[in-house]
Amino acid sequence: MKAIQITAPSDMKVIDISTPQLKRGEVLLKIHFVGFCGSDLNTFLGRNLMALNPVIPGHEIGATIEKIGEDVPDFLKVGMAVTVNPYTNCGKCAACRNGKVNACEHNETLGVQRNGAMKEFLTVSWEKVIPAKEITPRDCALIEPMSVGFHAVSRAQVTDIDTVMVIGCGMIGIGAITRAALRGATVIAVDLDDYKLELAKRIGAKYTINSKTENIHEKLQQLTDGFGPDIVIEAVGSPATYVMAVEEVGFTGRIICIGYSKSDVTFQTKLFVQKELDIRGSRNALHADFRAVIHYLEQKTYPINELITEVVKPEQALGAMQRWTANPAKVFRILVSFE
User: What pairs with residue 278 in β-bridges?
Assistant: 254
User: Rounded distance, CA 303 to CA 301, Å?
Assistant: 7
3.40.50.970, 2.170.150.20, 3.90.180.10, 3.30.450.40: CATH of 2-134+298-337: 3.90.180.10
Q: pLDDT tens for the chain, 339 residues: list them.
A: 999 999 999 999 999 999 999 999 999 999 999 999 988 999 999 988 888 999 999 999 999 999 999 999 999 999 999 999 999 999 999 999 999 999 999 999 999 999 999 999 999 999 999 999 889 999 999 999 999 999 999 999 999 999 999 999 999 999 999 999 999 999 999 999 999 999 999 999 999 999 999 999 999 999 999 999 999 999 999 999 999 999 999 999 999 999 888 788 988 899 999 999 999 999 999 999 999 999 999 999 899 999 999 999 999 999 999 999 998 888 889 999 999
User: Rounded distance, CA 176 to CA 154, Å?
Assistant: 9
Residues of the chain with CATH 3.90.180.10: 2-134+298-337
User: Rounded distance, CA 118 to CA 131, Å?
Assistant: 19
Rounded to a whole number of angstroms, the CA Rg of the chain reads 20
User: Rounded distance, CA 176 to CA 189, Å?
Assistant: 10
Of 290, 300, 318, 304, the C-alpha closest to 61 is: 290
User: Rounded distance, CA 148 to CA 245, Å?
Assistant: 19
Q: Residue ranges of the alpha helices (H) in 183-259? A: 194-202, 216-223, 239-248
Report DSSP state, residue 108.
Answer: -
Residues of the chain with CATH 3.40.50.720: 149-281
149-281 architecture in CATH? 3-Layer(aba) Sandwich (3.40)
Of 22, 285, 263, the C-alpha closest to 142 is: 285
Strands 186-191 vs 207-210: parallel, antiparallel or unpaired: parallel
Rounded to 10 deg, the angle between the 171-182 and 287-297 helix axes is 80
Q: CB burial class (10 A; 0-12, 13-18, 19+) of residue 116?
A: buried
Contacts of 124 (CB under 8 A, 6+ apart): 26, 27, 29, 84
pTM of the model: 0.95
Please provide the size of the chain in residues.
339
